[in-house]
């Protein structure tokens, strides 16, 4: 057999090998594209819809009496950037402190009517603000916006005649970040946090571990960076079984806080432990001990 004949017989093998390699390359490219799409599509959805994932407002305002809280008055509060907020005010018994309340990310003031009633039954006042975009308030929620809303609510409390040293700031879940920020900026009497966190980004990483949350999240509410500027008595409440904001985040924030401080673990508690029997009386006892009435 000549050299030419040997070469002509080998060519089909080379071609078959080339075709197989090409198929492998195409399959690898297809797999890579599928993997990229599997990651990229949810990533785009999470990034573009992140505020819809973070904020779940009740948008329709309900009068306090219709919510079962006839003692409360509905107020309109204007912010420095032109938004108009709904707020509920229960006047304090003369000489008693007022609770400046910041809710969590879901629902509205009406959903907390029973809680407000229990907190104020002994004569404490209450001013609870509905964030922008929530429950009859104008605008759309953002971290900067909610902090502006907090400043407006604080100003309203002063305008209603409450002294700064009689204002007790209470934050619930997402609202703990708003409350910590306000207490770090303004003079207040005490701070109560229910289910707090170090940052919303840290909490989001639990569910969205596959994404670079700290780089992509717009509203991170870094309480861990602000709590050191708070120099008033602090009470932290956290459910041991909290799956929304795991208790370790509350413990980490508490470690960063200044004295005097107290951490209350609710063994059977999940998220928002103030709705459990016996918890609000414990909060009221703590308030009386740290912000006593004259």
Residue 190 phi/psi, 5-degree rounding, is: -165, 165
On the CB side of 133, how many CA atoms lie within 13 Å of its CA?
Answer: 15
| Tokens at 2, concatenated | 């000549």
d(CA 200, CA 198): 7
Residues acting as catalytic residues: 173, 242, 270
On the CB side of 186, how many CA atoms lie within 13 Å of its CA?
Answer: 28
Closest CA to 227 of 184, 190, 194: 184
Residue 34 phi/psi, 5-degree rounding, is: -65, -45
Return the bridge partners of 73, or none: 89
In degrees, to the nearest 5, what angle opens at C-alpha 189 toward C-alphas 273 and 85?
70
In order of 6, 11, 12, 20, the CA distances from 17 in angstroms are: 17, 10, 9, 5
| Contact indicator for 205, 220 with CB cutoff of 8 Å | no
| Tokens at 124, concatenated | 């404490």
- CB proximity list for 188: less than 8 A, separation 6 or greater: 100, 164, 165, 167, 168, 169, 182, 232
């Amino acid at each position: 057999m000549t050299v030419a004949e040997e070469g002509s017989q080998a060519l089909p093998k080379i071609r078959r090998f080339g075709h197989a390699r090409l198929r492998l390359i195409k399959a690898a490219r297809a797999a890579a594209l599928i993997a990229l799409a599997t990651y990229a599509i949810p990533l785009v959805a999470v990034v573009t819809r992140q505020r819809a994932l973070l904020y779940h407002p009740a948008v329709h305002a309900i009068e306090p009496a219709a919510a079962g809280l006839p003692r409360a008055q509905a107020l309109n509060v204007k912010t420095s950037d032109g938004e108009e907020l709904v707020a509920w005010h229960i006047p304090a018994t003369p000489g008693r402190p007022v609770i400046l309340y910041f809710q969590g990310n879901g629902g509205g003031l009406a959903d907390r009517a029973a809680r407000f009633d229990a907190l104020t039954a002994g004569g404490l006042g209450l001013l609870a603000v509905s964030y922008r975009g929530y429950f009859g308030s104008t605008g759309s929620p953002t971290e900067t916006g909610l902090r502006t809303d907090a400043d407006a609510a604080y100003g309203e409390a002063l305008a209603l005649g409450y002294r700064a040293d009689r204002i007790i700031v209470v934050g619930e879940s997402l609202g703990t970040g708003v409350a910590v920020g306000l207490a770090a900026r303004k003079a207040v009497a005490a701070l109560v946090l229910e289910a707090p966190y170090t940052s919303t980004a840290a909490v989001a990483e639990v569910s969205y571990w596959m994404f670079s949350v700290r780089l992509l999240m717009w509203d991170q509410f870094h309480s861990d960076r602000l709590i050191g500027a708070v120099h008033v008595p602090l009470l932290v409440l956290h459910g041991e079984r909290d799956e929304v904001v795991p208790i370790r985040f509350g413990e980490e924030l508490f470690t960063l806080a200044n004295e005097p401080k107290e951490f209350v673990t609710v063994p059977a508690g999940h998220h928002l432990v103030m709705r459990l029997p016996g918890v609000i009386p414990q909060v009221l006892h703590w308030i009386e001990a740290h912000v006593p009435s004259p």
